[in-house]
């Protein structure tokens, strides 16, 4: 399936899948390249505009400075969430070996 008209290349899509921690089949890679490409094509009408002087919107009603006081509130009883966890050991969440250091 040719994606030469798509703004998206197949290996862009493959890179994005890795970033998103998704494994796509070859068919899915092809399909997504086309489908995502269509959405992005549609977005070209947006890109044609010169919006250099327009500020992005943060909150639609301009709320600022929302904070809470530094007060301790009750934590969850560990059983309430550990009982829902896939793998627990010594009160901690267990995961298979971690291959790299944290960024």
Partner 1 sequence: MSQLPNGWEMVVGLEVHTELLTKSKLFCGCENHFGSEPNSNVCPVCLGLPGSLPVLNHEAVELGMRIGMALHCTIAPSTFHRKNYFYPDQSKDYQISQYDLPLNSGGYLDLPDGSRVGIERAHMEEDTGKTTHMGGSGRLAGAERSLVDYNRCGVPLVEIVSAPDIRSAAQARAYAAELRGILIATGASDGRMEEGSMRIDANVSVRKTGEPFGTRCEIKNLNSLRSLQRAIDYEALRQIDILEEGGRIRQETRHWDETAGETSTLRVKEDAEDYRYFRDPDLVDLAPSQEWQDAVRAALPAMPAERRAAVAAMVASPTSAQLDAIEVVVDLGLERFIHETVAQGGDAALAISRVANELASNVDQAQHLNVSAFVATVKMEQSGALSATQAKEILGVLMESGGDPVAIAAAKGYEQMSSDSLGAIVEELITANPDEWGRYRDGDDKLAGFFTGLVMKATQGKANGKAVVAELQARR
Partner 2 sequence: MTTAVSIAHDVATGATTASAALESSLATIAERNGEINAFLYVDTDRARAMAASVDERIAAGETVGPLAGVPIAIKDNMCQIDVPTTCSSKILEGWRPPYNATVIDRLVAAGAIPVGKTNLDEFAMGSSTENSAFGATRNPLDVSRVPGGSSGGSAAAVAANMTPVSLGSDTGGSIRQPAALCGLVGLKPTYGLVSRYGLIAFASSLDQIGPFTTTVADTALLMEVMSGHDPMDSTSLPEPAPSLLAHVNEGVAGKRIGLVKELYEGSDAEVLESVRRAAETLREAGATIVELSMPELSLGLSAYYLIAPAEASSNLARFDGVRFGNRVNAPDVTAMMEATRTAGFGPEVKRRIMLGTYALSAGYFDAYYGQALKVRTLTIAAFQKAYAEVDLILGATTPGVAFPFGSKTKDPMAMYLNDVFTIPSNLAGDPAISVPFGTGEANLPIGVQLLGPGRSERALLAAARVLEIADGRA
Residues 60 to 79 in contact with partner 1, rule: CB under 8 A: 63-76, 78
* Residues 34 and 6: beta-carbon distance below 8 Å: yes
| Residue recorded with tokens 């798509």 | 6
Contact between 40 and 7 under an 8 Å Cβ cutoff? The reply is yes
* Residue 30 C-beta: closest distance to partner 1, Å: 23
- Shortest reach from residue 4's CB to partner 1, in Å: 25
Shortest Å, Cβ 5 to partner 1: 26
Report the greatest alpha carbon distance in the chain.
Answer: 59
Instruction: State the residues that interact with partner 1 by CB under 8 A.
Output: 19, 21, 56, 58-59, 63-76, 78, 81-82, 89-98, 100-103
């Amino acid at each position: 399936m040719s994606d030469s008209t798509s703004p998206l290349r197949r290996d862009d899509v493959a890179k994005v899948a890795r970033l998103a921690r998704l494994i796509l089949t070859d068919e899915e890679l092809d399909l997504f390249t086309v489908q995502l490409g269509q959405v992005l094509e549609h977005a070209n009408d947006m890109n044609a505009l010169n919006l250099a002087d327009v500020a992005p919107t943060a909150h639609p009603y301009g709320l600022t400075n929302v904070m809470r006081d530094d007060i301790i509130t009750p934590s969850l009883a560990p059983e309430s969430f550990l009982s829902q966890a896939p793998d627990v050991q010594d009160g901690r969440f267990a995961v298979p070996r971690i291959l790299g250091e944290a960024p």
